[in-house]
Structure 1
Amino acid sequence: MSGKILNPVTNHYEFSGTIGVFLITFGLPIVMIGFQLLVSREYLIQGINLKIDLVKSQIYNIGWKQLSLDKNVWLAYLSWFSILAVFDVGLPGKKLKGIKLRDGTKLDYNINGLLFTSLFVVVVGIRYKITNGLLPELQFLYNNHLSFIIVSIIFSFILSTFIYLNSFIPLVKKNGFNTKERILSINGNTGNWFYDWFIGRELNPRFGSFDIKLFVELRPGLLLWLLINLSCLHHQYLSKGYVCNSLVLINVLEGFYAFDGVLNEEGVLSMMDITTDGFGFMLIFGSLSLVPFTYSLQSRYLVLNEVNLGPVNIVFILALFFAGYYIFHSSNKQKSDFRNGLLDDKHYKFIQTKTGSKLLCDGWWALSQHINYFGDWLIAWSWCLPTGFNTPLTYYYVIYFATLLLHRQVRDSAKCEAKYGETWRLYTSKVPYKIIPYVY
């Protein structure tokens, strides 16, 4: 580390700086609550016209209990978060090293996704067997959906503030190296407390062996999303005696994706969320609140607005999902294998950079600079199409995810331009398409 600054000051601002961050911080929760009110009330969705006066009247009719701090909801949410954290730390798993950090160290990770999901499925299965399929926990989740949203938002603010303040506490020893500095995010060290709180000041905050950043990204939000979907399926069956095939399809596809995310957690260790972004409100709110309560919009809609798909539509949606899944995973595996020296350089075209790394421009990565993003976006379409075309609200995820991927692509391109210079420009001339081959 001699001659190098461990935590350089951040000189660039994203999201148009403090004003943009302020609007996102307080605007997104309001939008999220509004979306939930709209998709949860069948008479509020008539064609594509959203009537604000109906939304306002519905808010008044919800009742104080839904908007208040219901102690039972708080108890359920905090128990959920705490129990998962204990399992995350306590369950054995495969030991892996993360990428090299700026101080030359590598963090140790306990990869126990397989055992974690297996235990989760067993517990739900046993509970289902004991109650003969009538799961009161799922019905409680469904009946108090809005309260859970508000609790998750408040908890995100509390946790973000705690993590931000904790980033100022000096470390005496870290991973065997004596140091008084924490490793901060290159994006969240501006000195502007609100901006750094939002972006995330510390890169990988830990409490002992508990990596709270990886935990929040892959455990409570993803699995709560799965439970919300199941609660919708459970409610429709109890109230109508059957479940429409579109709701079953949504549960299968999104459940598969959620479990796959937990099971393949080691793939996240090299992603921008872990390697570059700090752990702040942006990531905390996105993982704990935005993911479970907006990714489940389709299920919430289908409970009260049934869509029955024909065989051709089901086959098409399944084909779209697995095509996206194949592109996403096979392209990521190809890049991972290339980085780890598992692919023969003689059979794959690449560009050697001055920093010593190689830019792959062959196979999947000859089609676009972020071909994995394209696969992920196809998956997003497969989750929205089962809802039909009666409202644009259930297509929120496709629009939001496209915006997110475009933002990440721009950030990554700027980072690579600064790092590789002329070599990056040579690479973009060979691989001109950014995400969608032959389109963008």
Structure 2
Amino acid sequence: MTGEGSSIAEKQSAAEKVGTSELKSNAKRVVASGKREFGGAKGAIALMLGSPAVMYYLWICQAYNDGQILLPKSLNASGLSDFFRFCGQCIYEGAYPTRQAWTIFLTFFFVQMLFYVTLPGLRTRGLPLKHRNNQSLPYLCNAVWSFYTSIAIMTVLHVSNIFRITTLLDIFGSLMTVAICTAFVTTFVIYAGIIVFRGKLFDTPHRLSGNVIYDMFMGAGLNPRIGRMLDLKMFFEVRIPWFTLFFLSISAAVRQYERYGYVSPQVAFVCLAHYLYANACAKGEELIVPTWDMAYEKFGFMLIFWNMAGVPYTYCHCTLYLAARNPAVYKWSTEYNVFLYTLLLCSYYVFDTCNSQKNRFRQQIYGQYKPRKTFPQLPWQLIKNPTFIRCANGGTLLTSGWYRYARKIHYTADFFQSLSWALITGFGSPLPYFYPCFFFVVLVHRVTRDVKKCKVKYGADFDEYCRICPYLFIPYIF
């Protein structure tokens, strides 16, 4: 049932291919049986239309209603008509996709793409893919170089007045609209390229349901690429959302300093929080390669939209709320600030080391683990002699490290990070709390999906795993 880390790669490499292939087969049976996630095509179209609507509504509340919930004056036809007319006017005046917004967004997008294929980085390979005859795709992991190169360039542009970073806040609405439009166009182009050219452009069709709307939402391909190395899913997952979120917070800090002569502990907090998250994704990019997202989740609207538009332009409402106010208004007590900084750093430590343990274990299985000295290096990132369940299907389930205490403890740590981002703003507006509330729903839904798939994939071995590691989110409690 258990094994030593030194012999993992030799004993598990071939067997894990069987497990991965079985997961693909199970997934195909689910699609073929007519079972669809997110409510099928009706749920997909609702999410595709509802996601940008929610984004615009939150932005209007933030920018035009002092961060408070905006409601129609009445629920009759006249009241609703006035409400939608007002929202439309706000979008036209403050979120029209100007040439400046298109230039900034697309320049950032294509520069990051250039960095992806040119900057130095760690080379690794993904999991064997059955639909590619168990081929393992190559990856160049250089997001950490892209991150710090981007910071250096942005600093030079701001100091030289070529591009003021505070512009990101000045035209936030327009940038959000450009991101939304680009996400829809990208979704359609990738879907059409896969369907029409069927393997000659981007990727081969994979696990299609037969419904255009649903397949466009979930994705038509698993690993669409431009050329050999530019994996679009990996590119979108790290660079676009988290780099954007970080620069928005830096923009708030710079604006506050220019206006008031100092940066408040609250704005410094969101800068630190978003730096830690962006840096964690960048420095551990190679650990994303063997994850479930890369090996199973297809690349459609769901991933494209939220990476390109949803994450950076909705998770930032803590930043927008603080940036719009005089820092003298939200002077919290020293004890409250210390508590939140402590909560953030402790949550980050568990989040960083937990994800590192899990994904480096996967690398050990395939003999692909390569020590990487990227900042910060935290204690207990690697389990030297991990224990695990060797499953009947050839897969493995890690039973040591953080996962011995709770099977989804990394989600718990991630949630408390998101909650701290909202708590630092106080309780004057509900908008900063959208992210932790939304994220909680996403995590619960994701865990539900994951548990169902694991029960199918591992069978009785998963029951044994739950017996050894009985807690799901919080050790000794739940």
TM-score, normalised to structure 1's length? 0.88
1:251 aligned onto 2:271? yes
In structure 2, distance between residues paired with 1:195 and 1:173? 21
Please give the root-mean-square deviation of Cα atoms over the aligned residues, in Å.
2.7
In structure 2, distance between residues paired with 1:170 and 1:63? 38
Per the TM alignment, residue 235 of structure 1 is displaced from its structure 2 partner at its CA by 3.0
Per the TM alignment, residue 164 of structure 1 is displaced from its structure 2 partner at its CA by 0.5
- 5 Å-filtered alignment, 1:40-439, equals 40-41=63-64, 43=66, 45=68, 50-53=70-73, 59=87, 62=90, 64-102=92-130, 103-131=133-161, 136-168=163-195, 169-171=197-199, 182=204, 184=206, 186=207, 189-208=208-227, 209-305=229-325, 306=327, 307-339=330-362, 340=364, 349-439=387-477
Asked if the contact 2:408/2:472 (under 8 Å) is kept, the reply is yes
Q: Which moved more, 1:314-323 or 1:288-297?
A: 314-323
- Give the direction of change, closer, same or farther, for the CA distance of 1:429–1:312 in structure 2 (3 Å limit): same
Q: Which moved more, 1:5-14 or 1:143-152?
A: 5-14
What is aligned with 2:48? 25
In structure 1, distance between residues paired with 2:271 and 2:95? 28
The aligned amino acid for 1:93 is: G
Q: Which moved more, 1:261-270 or 1:35-44?
A: 35-44
The aligned amino acid for 2:217 is: F
Per the TM alignment, residue 32 of structure 1 is displaced from its structure 2 partner at its CA by 0.9
In structure 2, distance between residues paired with 1:44 and 1:221? 23
Q: Which moved more, 1:160-169 or 1:110-119?
A: 110-119
Q: Secondary structure at the match of 2:127?
A: strand
Per the TM alignment, residue 64 of structure 1 is displaced from its structure 2 partner at its CA by 3.3
Q: Which runs of 5+ in 1 are unaligned?
A: 175-180
In structure 2, distance between residues paired with 1:285 and 1:229? 21
In structure 2, distance between residues paired with 1:146 and 1:128? 21
In structure 1, distance between residues paired with 2:447 and 2:193? 31
Per-residue CA deviations over 1:22-63 (Å, capped at 9, x if unaligned) read 111101111111111212346353xxx643449757536537
Per the TM alignment, residue 255 of structure 1 is displaced from its structure 2 partner at its CA by 1.8
In structure 2, distance between residues paired with 1:93 and 1:390? 44
Per the TM alignment, residue 278 of structure 1 is displaced from its structure 2 partner at its CA by 0.6
In structure 2, distance between residues paired with 1:418 and 1:63? 46
Asked if the contact 2:383/2:401 (under 8 Å) is kept, the reply is no
What is aligned with 2:7? none
Per-residue CA deviations over 1:236-267 (Å, capped at 9, x if unaligned) read 33444443321121112212211221222111
Asked if the contact 1:34/1:55 (under 8 Å) is kept, the reply is no
Give percent identity, aligned residues only. Answer: 28
In structure 1, distance between residues paired with 2:360 and 2:222? 26
In structure 2, distance between residues paired with 1:334 and 1:238? 42
Identify which of structures 1 and 2 has the higher relative contact order when contacts are C-alpha pairs closer than 8 Å and 6+ apart.
2
Per-residue CA deviations over 1:243-301 (Å, capped at 9, x if unaligned) read 33211211122122112212221111122221111111100001010111111110101
Per-residue CA deviations over 1:391-417 (Å, capped at 9, x if unaligned) read 222111111111111111111111111
The aligned amino acid for 1:128 is: H
In structure 2, distance between residues paired with 1:17 and 1:63? 30
Per-residue CA deviations over 1:360-414 (Å, capped at 9, x if unaligned) read 2233212222111111112112211111012222111111111111111111111
Give aligned pairs, total.
422
